[in-house]
Structure 1
């Protein structure tokens, strides 16, 4: 009798019941749904974050370059007094944009008005589009107010996913 009981117990533990299989499939199904709805979309968010970081790098490099230039074509190249529109007879230029210099010879803030991704990078034959593939760049420079004492520099960077990120700074006439 004991031998029969041992054999019956051994036969019972060798497989899964139908209920165990159905429950196992339901658990796997729920896990797959959770993966596809929660985990996999995180990859898209990670790429968007990377694009935003690259956008900030591009805008920061352009802003740093612009910030290192003099305020206006009519301002003393070595700084100091008098600044244009300071009452000393020098007037600030009214036109924004390149004064006819080559890209490497930009010497004042408003030369950068109209700079875009097809422009060459500073001291390079490479364009911004080549260095930042898929990104678009648009730089605008305008006077902040009618006194012409400050210029608003706006750098719009469009990421490959068509998200436009705007960076702005104000450069004053000092």
Structure 2
């Protein structure tokens, strides 16, 4: 009788472990991947945020904002991306980051994002928010190793 009760208690314990605790391990991995995704996107957003709005805008407010009275025109959206011959370390304005991806080199490094974040995808898109060209929408999409795309967005104003 004691042996039967012992087997029954063991069976109930095993069912609880396999149905409640073990599936939580998969969810823990998903959370870790999301945190690493946020870490990658945050580092790129911080870098972009420190750059000037446009090639025609002055660094640190030295020139009037592009498209303002007496100032040069802002870059056409068709020309977004790094200028010809510009290396990754020479990105100096927001739209240079358009098209940055996982195989791109990291800032001041010979390693790519793929090397540091294996199995993660990365895509950066920059576009004007509206026809006035007074704001740019920066979207960083990081794809986790599980194939979950997570988008992070920021708006950069022309000031």
| TM-score, normalised by the number of residues in structure 2 | 0.95
Determine whether 1:103 maps to 2:97. Answer: no
* Aligned equivalents of 2:116, 2:91: Cα separation in 1: 20
Deviations along 1:17-53, one digit per CA (max 9) or x if unpaired, are xx22112111100100110111011111111111111
Point out 4+ residue stretches in structure 1 off by more than 2 angstroms.
Answer: none
Q: Which structure has the larger Rg? A: 1
Q: How far has the Cα of 1:89 moved from its partner?
A: 3.5
Paired residues in the alignment total: 156
Partner of 1:152: 137
Do the aligned partners of 2:65 and 2:71 also contact (CA within 8 Å) in 1? no
Gaps in structure 2 of 5+ consecutive residues: none
* Aligned equivalents of 1:31, 1:128: Cα separation in 2: 44
Do the aligned partners of 2:122 and 2:141 also contact (CA within 8 Å) in 1? yes
Partner of 1:83: 65
Partner of 2:24: 42
| TM-score, normalised by the number of residues in structure 1 | 0.87
Q: How far has the Cα of 1:78 moved from its partner?
A: 3.7
SS in 2 for 1:40: helix
SS in 2 for 1:119: coil
Partner of 2:14: 32
Gaps in structure 1 of 5+ consecutive residues: 1-18
Correspondences of 1:122-133 after superposition (within 5 Å): 122-133=107-118
Determine whether 1:113 maps to 2:95. Answer: no
State the superposition RMSD in angstroms: 0.9
* Aligned equivalents of 1:23, 1:86: Cα separation in 2: 83
Deviations along 1:65-98, one digit per CA (max 9) or x if unpaired, are 0001100011113424411011224100002111
